Amino acid sequence: MSIDPNKEGLTVGVVGAGAMGRGIAQVSVTGGMKAVIFDTADGAAAAAKDFIGGMIQRSVDKGRLEEDAGEKAIANLGVAGSIQDLKDCDLVVEAIVENIDIKQSVFRQIEEVVSEDTIIASNTSSIRISSIASACTHRGRVAGLHFFNPVPLMKLVEVINGTDTSTETTSALEVIGKRMGRVPVVVKDAPGFLVNLGGRAYTTEALRIVSEGIAEPHEVDAIMRDSCGFRMGPFELMDLTGIDVNFPVSQIIYNGYFQDKRLSTAPLHESMMEAGRLGRKTKAGFYDYDAEGNIIRPDGPAKVNAQPARQVVLAEPAPALEPLLRDLGISVLKDDDGQSPILAAPIGEDCTSLAVRLGLDAKRLVAIDALTGTHAHATVMAAPGANDAVVESFIAALQQNTNAVTRIKDCPGFVAQRIRAMVANLGCEMAQIGVATPEDIDKGMKLGLNYPHGSVELADYLGSRNTLTILEQLQAITGEERYRPSQWLRRRALLDLPIHTRD
């Protein structure tokens, strides 16, 4: 037996009257269902009811909700004096402290009072659903229902299958999630679930790049925002969520996947936490903050005062550079004159490797990341010992046609290629191991983290062959297992198949 998720008057019990519990109750009643809030702290549930009522009225006042609908939603909101008052609920969602022992105790108490058909779900973000369910008698009706903060604004909800979760339970939670106005994605019970796992690559690879001295945090952030369409750079994001939050989560997920190097963070991450530079909350993280909590941003890239280059030599044929050079009014020499910049647009390769492979003059070699485009923000690099005058002559030419140019140290994959390839690779690996369907992985990353592309579809956006090449070059040049390509990506790239192709 199972509940009818479409039934009129379906009642959702919410255990925990904090921000998440309030949000879950709010979307339940605005979705046409009833909600009953319980909290062990005296007055907390009643205060949550008043808070939710105020938020709903605010939506009515702003014209986001019809007055009749608002009144009905508020009327459907109730308070439980004890956990026994949840006995008639069709679904109970636990949204309390992230402690396995406390959660198991609460689930046992819920089981004692609700019917055998009632679904019991946890809003946990880090504890395995199967671990919570192990304390229960009827494990088939136990699942995860992981919302994102703030719940009324974040449209995604993860429906997490424990080892014993029944298909009826999963299907019912998908329907209820939609009734709440959320977009449900079905996820396997694994460390980090979908969004917290998929979000690791963006920040950890940025940390690696800064740790290697390739670029500064504000430079990495500017490249990822301006060139790649991310709403926040990785260091801004870590400061916002708090280093004391994202470093432990990174470690939990890394250890949960038995130290898969593709999920490892950098010592710099721990150093920031140990130093107490936790981000916006302490007014000091990777950035400093003013009294109002606004980032104090370092100055952008300085303009170079060199004579713009008017001719270049191409390191090797590069069709992607032709429109840029035409716009800049730069001609391409057929023969190397021994003085002009040698221009390249490598995929995954650094200038050092490129110079050795082609027998080029490394001092005049200038590489530009053509995969990001150059109008909003161009990224340029050169090999150690480069002739700065030659490099700056090309940067001066670029400055005439772009908002900003950032010069980084020699690096396989520049900044954007490295970070985006790692994001895509992790998305493909999640598809490979069945964390969720490729489509739900993409949906989760766009709705849960506001990524401009889903992490699986990002491989298609970059070109699956390009993505594979970047990773293979990174692995070959650095010797690190960290850059091992997912077999999902490798097979589809080599067979020239769409990245979402199922086995």
Quick: pLDDT tens for 163-199: 999 999 999 999 999 999 999 999 999 999 999 999 9
Residue 303: pLDDT band (50, 70, 90) is confident
**Residue 302: pLDDT over 90:** no
Q: Is 125 a catalytic residue?
A: yes
For residue range 357-415, list pLDDT tens digits in order.
Answer: 999 999 999 999 999 988 899 999 999 999 999 999 999 999 998 989 999 999 999 99
CATH superfamily of 11-189: NAD(P)-binding Rossmann-like Domain (3.40.50.720)
Which of 465-492 are b and which e, b meaning 16 or more Cβ less than 10 Å from the residue's Cβ? Answer: ebbbbbbbbbbebeeeebbbbbebbbbb
Percent of the chain with pLDDT over 90: 97
For domain 197-296, which architecture applies?
Orthogonal Bundle (1.10)
For domain 420-494, which architecture applies?
Orthogonal Bundle (1.10)
Give the type of residue at 276.
G
Q: Report how far residue 72's alpha carbon sits from residue 398's, in angstroms, rounded to the nearest whole number.
A: 60
Question: Taking the CB of residue 31, how many other CB atoms lie within 10 A of it?
Answer: 19
The predicted structure's pLDDT at residue 1: 53
Q: Is 353 a catalytic residue?
A: no
Judge whether 11-189 and 420-494 match in fold: no
The predicted structure's pLDDT at residue 379: 97
Q: Which residue in the list 28, 94, 122, 158 is annotated as catalytic?
A: 158
Q: Which residue in the list 28, 196, 455, 464 is annotated as catalytic?
A: 196
The predicted structure's pLDDT at residue 500: 98
DSSP 338: S
Show the beta-strand stretches assigned E in 346-456.
Answer: 365-368, 378-382, 405-408
Q: Which residue in the list 76, 94, 122, 146 is annotated as catalytic?
A: 146
Q: Is 171 a catalytic residue?
A: no
Residue 363's φ and ψ, nearest 5 degrees, are -70, -25
Q: Which residue in the list 28, 76, 125, 227 is annotated as catalytic?
A: 125
Domain boundaries along the sequence of the chain: 11-189, 197-296, 311-403, 420-494
Q: What is the mean pLDDT of residues 129-150?
A: 97
Task: Indicate the pTM of the whole model.
Answer: 0.96
For residue range 87-116, list pLDDT tens digits in order.
Answer: 999 999 999 999 999 999 999 999 999 999
Kindly report the average pLDDT of the chain as a whole number. 97
